[in-house]
Structure 1
């Protein structure tokens, strides 16, 4: 029976799209004793966003919405993002995104990671489940010869049982990833919103959508220093 202590908290979000066949998972992680400081750094960032840009602290920072200028996350756009009476939501969203990524890059104790697979529209659902299974096995391999135990938090409501099934396939007596995934709603979880930034940037780096060219190098520029592998890994 494995002995050890819980020293990895891993918050995972998914990205990609069934139409393109791309499967992406991104995550942030840290030791439990770093939880206070990691969350504190992000909350300090959120308070700065309120002071500078009137983005409320409880407002969800969902990259797909605000980095592309779709979300209206500010109660009052700063004058530099209003031109001839037009609100420049895309420019504003990218400014907030970069501020957020710089915070992730400078947060002590934080690690990030991402994995992906390019499937097809027809095989996307199967690939999504398989990539998650392989990701959990990868975590297990990393901890097999250590005293580490890990707990995983997932964005969502638990309706997708494939994540739970992946955990329950692990041998109970030797597994290092303990428990089922704990589901956390990103709308109310600041740390899950951090994971969303990682997953979105990994997707942008891999998909290389021409209209999102501004973000193609965001993973390399802001997140690679926090990723032990320096890039998204294909599984």
Structure 2
């Protein structure tokens, strides 16, 4: 991706005891329409499949969806069977891997103070992204899951040196429920976190990140 403009959708995952993680998808704006169309095809297929029937506008929130919380499907019988969730989540990762002009990635660090370390991880990631953009003469806009009250992320953007800054504007906040592509970042972040923390109860997810996103960057300790 040389000399282009990118939109980076990023979300966090983790827990207060072990690991803070960030996951993202990065899209060349020239491929944005094709990437969005590919994801919507996947979501439409989930709705039209008579065995699944998950509406296109249902929020794909991994921490709830994958363990079996909520009622994503219009079929009560589907909702009551947790084993169905993994199949859909794997399909989502496959869809992300195949989205045109899109790359996925994740970073993490061990933590004992999640609130602090999450912001510090975002800072380290943002500076690395800025350097990578400079090396390819590119620019990017970063979209973050949130309601705009996370002022720490804005401050991190303003720490970037003006002379070499390649990231346009502060972080742009949008609720994930209103953004299909932030929901993609959510599942990337959650599966990256599970591949690192390796919780016994989530053993079935340990290899998802590397097996389903083979060209992804990370998850990398940062």
Q: Same fold (TM over 0.5)?
A: yes
Please give the alpha-carbon distance, in whole angstroms, between the structure 1 residues aligned to 2:76 and 2:98. Answer: 26
Match of 2:99 among 102, 107, 111: 107
Instruction: Count matched residues.
Output: 219
156-165 or 99-108, larger mean C-alpha shift: 99-108
1:44 to 16, 34, 41: 41
Aligned to 1:55: 54
Instruction: Name 1:232's counterpart in structure 2.
Output: 219
For the residues of structure 1 that align with 2:167 and 2:120, how far apart are their CA atoms?
A: 17
2:129 matched to 1:132?
Answer: no
Q: How does 1:181-220 map to 2 (within 5 A)?
A: 181-220=171-210
- 1:140 and 1:175 in contact (8 A); partners too: yes
**TM-score, structure 1 length as denominator?**
0.88
Structure 1 unaligned spans of 5+? none
Cα distance in 2 for partners of 1:215, 1:15 equals 15
Task: Find the aligned partners of 1:12 and 1:224 in 2 and give their Cα distance.
Answer: 19
Residue of structure 2 aligned with 1:17, choices 15, 24, 29: 15
2:212 corresponds in structure 1 to 222
Q: Structure 1: how far apart are the matches of 2:184 and 2:133?
A: 24
* Structure 1 residue 223: Cα displacement: 1.2
SS in 2 for 1:142: helix
What is the alpha-carbon distance in structure 1 between the residues aligned to residue 203 and residue 88 of structure 2? 17
**Partner residue of 1:162?**
152
Whether 2:68 is the aligned partner of 1:69: answer yes
Tell me how far apart the structure 2 counterparts of residues 190 and 214 of structure 1 sit (CA, whole Å).
25
Q: For 1:28, what is the secondary structure of its paired residue?
A: strand
The one-character-per-residue Cα deviations of 1:29-88 (angstroms, maximum 9, x if unpaired) are 11111110000000000000001111000000111111111121001156xx59xxxx31
Aligned residues of 1:6 and 1:151 also touching (Cα < 8 A): no
Displacement of 1:96 in angstroms is 1.1
| Aligned-partner Cα distance in 1 for 2:24–2:133 | 17
Q: In structure 1, what is the Cα distance between the partners aligned to 2:142 and 2:4?
A: 11
Check whether the contact 2:97–2:103 (CA below 8 A) recurs between aligned residues: no
User: Which contiguous aligned blocks of 4+ residues in structure 1 show a shift greater than 6 angstroms?
Assistant: none
Q: CA RMSD in A?
A: 1.6
TM-score (norm 2): 0.93
